[in-house]
A and B are shown apart, each in its own frame.
Chain A
Amino acid sequence: MDEELRRVIFETFSEVFETMFFTFLEPLEEAPVREDLACGRFVEATISYSGGCNGSFLFYFPWELGKNITVNFLGVDEDEVQDGQVKDTAAETANMAIGGLLGKLDPAGKASLAIPQARVLADFSPETLLGKSNLCMFNTEFGILWVVGTHA
Chain B
Amino acid sequence: MAFNILVADDSETMRAVIKKTVSMSGVPVGEFHEAANGKEALAVLAETWIDVILSDINMPEMGGMELLKKISEDEELKKIPLIFITTEASDARREEAQKFGVAGYVKKPFQPETIKAILYEVLEKAYAHRLEENAGEENGEESDF
Q: Which residues of A contact B (CB under 8 A)?
A: 15-16, 19-20, 70, 73-75, 84-85, 88-89, 91-92, 95-96, 98-100, 102-103, 106-110, 113, 115
Is there contact, CB below 8 Å, between B108 and A99?
yes
Given contacts A103-B89, A103-B90, A107-B90, contact A75 B109 (CB under 8 A): no
B30 part of interface (Cβ distance < 8 Å) = no
B60 part of interface (Cβ distance < 8 Å) = yes
Is there contact, CB below 8 Å, between B87 and A115?
no
Cα of A96 to Cα of B111 in the assembled complex, Å: 14
Given contacts A19-B110, A115-B60, contact A75 B20 (CB under 8 A): yes
CB-contact partner of A89 in B13, B91, B107, under 8 A: B13
Given contacts A19-B109, A70-B13, contact A109 B91 (CB under 8 A): yes
Cα of A20 to Cα of B88 in the assembled complex, Å: 17
Query: Number of residue pairs across A and B with beta carbons under 8 Å?
Result: 71
A-B contact pairs, 16 of them (CB 8 A): A20-B108, A73-B13, A75-B17, A85-B12, A88-B11, A88-B12, A88-B13, A96-B109, A99-B88, A107-B90, A108-B91, A109-B91, A109-B92, A109-B93, A110-B92, A113-B58
- For this complex, into which size category does the number of interface residues on chain B fall? 20 to 34
Q: Which residues of B contact A (CB under 8 A)?
A: 10-14, 16-17, 20, 58-60, 86-93, 107-111
Report A-chain residues with C-beta under 8 Å of the C-beta of B91: 107-109
